[in-house]
Amino acid sequence: MAVRTILRAGNPILRERATEFEVGEIQTESTRKLVADMFETMESANGQGLAAPQIGELKRVVIVRLFRQEEYIDRVLFNPKITVIGDSKLGSWEGCLSVPGFVGYVERIRKIKLEFYNESAKKNVETVEGYDAVVYQHECDHLDGILYTDRMIDSRLFGFDDVTDTQELKALVRSSYTG
Ligand code: NI
């Protein structure tokens, strides 16, 4: 295992479309090594998710770390496919290991259908809502060369994470719409 270099916004690799895994490729040694490197890299950067293109591998695999009270759940998704359910949106402040030091306000679909292959190469289909749905949408976007900054609807809701008071900034920008 190795901590890999995380590509930063501006690197054209982050703008490419990653390629699908063959199902038979999922349980190979090289894939296991890639996933292990992704976890080690994510942990060393204190991230909650990572997509393979962020370490320069244009393959359709993402990892996420979902927090549940005192513990967390790690998941690996190969060839994930998202279908939106409804048009209800959920807004949140997002950050990205490829855009280090910044946060931005993004609205995404609240509820999704998520299809993917797990590490045992078994197909899974789930319905996911809320914060977890935001995480999956953010990570899967990386597989299509999309960064959260592309999804922002107001570039004023973007700033350095150690400067941005998310509550204050949002209130300020919201009031300027009507003022
Ligand atoms: Ni990201």
Per-residue pLDDT tens digits for 93-113: 999 999 999 999 999 999 999
DSSP H or E run through 62: strand 61-68
Of 43, 94, 139, 168, which one is the catalytic site residue? 139
CA angle 12, 15, 18 (to 5 degrees): 115
Asked if 25 is an active-site residue, the reply is no
88 CA → ligand 1 middle, Å: 22
pTM for the whole structure: 0.95
179 CA → ligand 1 middle, Å: 34
159 CA → ligand 1 middle, Å: 16
Tokens of 47: 């991230």
* Cα distance between residue 121 and residue 78, in whole Å: 8
pLDDT in tens, the chain (179 residues): 899 999 999 999 999 999 999 999 999 999 999 999 999 999 999 999 999 999 999 999 999 999 888 899 999 999 999 999 999 999 999 999 999 999 999 999 999 999 999 999 999 999 999 999 999 999 999 999 999 999 999 999 999 999 998 888 888 887 665 54
128 CA → ligand 1 middle, Å: 19
Handedness of CA 87, 125, 22, 49 (dihedral sign): positive
